[in-house]
Structure 1
Amino acid sequence: MNGETVSSLSLLQRIMKFPLVFYGILYVILTYCYVGLYFMRTSYVEAIAPGPVAPILASALGCIVMVLVYRSLSEHIEKRDVPEVAVRPMLSEFGLGFALGFGLYSLCIIILMLLGVYRLEGFNDPKILLVGLAAPLATGFFEELLFRGGVFRLAQIWFGSWIAIVINALVFGYVHMGNEGSTMQGIISITIWAGVLLAATYMLTGRLWFGIGLHSAWNYTQGTVYSGIVSGNGEMSGFAKSSMEGPDYLTGGSFGVEASLVAFLVCSTAGIIMIVMAKRKGNIVPPFWQLTST
């Protein structure tokens, strides 16, 4: 579909298509899907079919539903094609993002180990590596559809890429303020580096799969693999038996490694590199007032 002219839309369609209204609709429906998926997985699936496979399949099914909801809302309300969830590059871009997310967090841990901050003391049952995949997968899909497919994409249409990065970062940081171990250091850190890095994945590819893979892998590697605190949500018992001792600017304190100087430098650098690559590809979108003045 190529879209409809504004004059051909009814008043209700125009209201629903307005970015803030559309985002509100997207937020409510995707949140219900995500919360429903959580309760289905934890209350029914894990009780009926204990073990790692069923929760992962339930999460995968829920992720498919969230993508279909996002596509359907975009097609029927915005009246547009939805290239950001195109199926063909899904597996390759998700896989590349997952590898990058795993690699970035592992690099942070390696640096912290060299600094004597992170100590590896042994390993737990490797089944944890499967059991702990379901939740990060669902969260990666939900937050990328909502924040990069919603906040960043809509802000970019109106205000251009540079301002959209700032809006996306501020919103993403704000929603983490209510987390149990939230600190000012953690909010400032995740606002800047995660806002830049995750927006850069969308700018570089024009699709959400790369960012979904990276986001899912970062949370998975942080909590399930290295037993770290994920965005201030409490300590995780993952595959690695580990301890973290040192100043808050290195450990991240109660917010986790995401709030550390190491994560800030590593992930900000990765984000800036991707933005430079996106700029060289000509993927920087100007604000609407520059488009209308030409």
Structure 2
Amino acid sequence: MKFVLQLLAVTAVAVLGNLALQAVDGSPWPALAVGVAVAGLAVVAYRQVVRATERRSVAELAWPGAARAAGRGAVAGVALFAAAIGIIAAFGGYQITGLGSAAGAVGLIGLMCAAAVTEELIFRGVLFRWVEVATGTWCALVLTGSLFGLVHLLNPHASLWGAVAIAVEAGGMLTAAYIATRSLWLPIGLHFGWNAAASALFSTEVSGNNTPQGLLDAATSGPMLLTGGDFGPEGSIFAVLFCGLATLAFLRLAARRGNIVSFRAARGTARAKVAQ
């Protein structure tokens, strides 16, 4: 019931927030305001429901150092996407023809802010944490990362390859970032930075979602493995490669810090909770 209540609370904010964003579609400043408000409400809802159901301080969303961790994550997310799109451009798969829509970029920042926070709270904050308690870190990483990729099959222009790419890039990298820090702020920042760069800055598709134009007027063309095709650069082999390397780096850091929970240790913790 604790798991269900936490999942319902954050999902409810995400669904209502999505409806609110749809209502202000095409209005950049209201979209920015709504997106930021949804993100803030989701954090408050998560903190309240976790504190109420688990009767503990919510260390994974601790306020001290939150801005620094989220900011570093955002910078890293932008840098990772810029590196991927730079390689795609070097091979002729991405061309900038001029300036796009500054207003569109503002609205996209709000949308991506809401998406990054709600998705991280649902998939890393609730799902990964609870699955890890039952199965250990490695199983939870594979299971929840795969689920994150499969969910993206519901998007327009989705494909099996796109789902695999998202499972590695987001399901793998963002979960590994959480494991390494045991804080949700870094993966939230990474998620936001990556999506904001893809949409608001470089004006590319985000997970095949028919993303509006951002700051640049640009186009992608070429083989699907290079550009990601209709799914967007997240389907590029270079995006998968860079995020895969980042995943390994985070997991190495997690192992050094002793943040990997074995299956045996997880089962022992689960039995102890049942006994209580």
Structure 1 counterpart of 2:252: 276
Q: Which has the higher contact order (CA 8 A, sep 6+)?
A: 2
Contact kept, 8 Å, 2:77 with 2:189, in 1: the verdict is: yes
Q: Percent identity?
A: 30
* 73-82 or 272-281: bigger deviation: 73-82
* 233-242 or 115-124: bigger deviation: 233-242
Match of 1:148 among 124, 130, 134: 124
C-alpha separation in 1, matches of 2:268 and 2:87: 44
Contact kept, 8 Å, 2:199 with 2:205, in 1: the verdict is: yes
Contact kept, 8 Å, 2:39 with 2:118, in 1: the verdict is: yes
* Cα separation, partners in 2 of 1:235 and 1:37, compared to 1, 3 Å: closer
C-alpha separation in 2, matches of 1:180 and 1:62: 23
* 125-134 or 165-174: bigger deviation: 125-134
What is the number of residues matched between the two proteins?
269
* Cα separation, partners in 2 of 1:37 and 1:235, compared to 1, 3 Å: closer
- For 1:177, what is the secondary structure of its paired residue? helix
- The reply to whether residue 66 of structure 1 matches residue 42 of structure 2 is yes
- For 1:175, what is the secondary structure of its paired residue? helix
Match of 1:208 among 168, 176, 184: 184
Offset from partner CA, 1:67-124 (integer Å, 9 cap, x none): 1111111121223321011111110011001001111001011101111111111112
Offset from partner CA, 1:3-49 (integer Å, 9 cap, x none): xxxxxxxxxxxxx23xxxx2x333333222123223334436x79xx
Structure 2 counterpart of 1:27: 7
C-alpha separation in 2, matches of 1:246 and 1:51: 31
Contact kept, 8 Å, 2:168 with 2:243, in 1: the verdict is: no
* 69-78 or 110-119: bigger deviation: 69-78
Contact kept, 8 Å, 1:128 with 1:224, in 2: the verdict is: yes
Structure 1 counterpart of 2:261: 285
Q: TM-score, normalised by structure 2?
A: 0.91
- For 2:18, what is the secondary structure of its paired residue? helix
Shift of 1:291: 6.0
Structure 1 counterpart of 2:83: 107
**Which protein shows a greater Rg?**
1
Match of 2:242 among 266, 278, 287: 266
* 112-121 or 32-41: bigger deviation: 32-41
Structure 2 counterpart of 1:7: none
- Letter paired with 1:82: V
Contact kept, 8 Å, 2:89 with 2:95, in 1: the verdict is: yes
Gaps of 5+ in 2: 272-276
Contact kept, 8 Å, 1:183 with 1:254, in 2: the verdict is: no
Give matches, 1:226-241, under 5 Å.
226-241=202-217
Q: TM-score, normalised by structure 1?
A: 0.85
- The reply to whether residue 40 of structure 1 matches residue 20 of structure 2 is yes
- For 1:164, what is the secondary structure of its paired residue? helix
Offset from partner CA, 1:252-287 (integer Å, 9 cap, x none): 122111111011101110111111011111111222
C-alpha separation in 1, matches of 2:84 and 2:53: 42
Contact kept, 8 Å, 2:98 with 2:217, in 1: the verdict is: yes
- The reply to whether residue 87 of structure 1 matches residue 67 of structure 2 is no
- Letter paired with 1:225: L
Shift of 1:51: 5.1
Structure 1 counterpart of 2:201: 225
Contact kept, 8 Å, 2:133 with 2:267, in 1: the verdict is: no
Shift of 1:185: 1.0
C-alpha separation in 2, matches of 1:187 and 1:262: 15
Shift of 1:228: 0.8
* Cα separation, partners in 2 of 1:194 and 1:125, compared to 1, 3 Å: closer
- Letter paired with 1:137: C
* Cα separation, partners in 2 of 1:51 and 1:253, compared to 1, 3 Å: closer
| Structure with greater helix share of residues | 2
- The reply to whether residue 255 of structure 1 matches residue 228 of structure 2 is no
Match of 2:92 among 116, 119, 136: 116
Structure 2 counterpart of 1:13: none
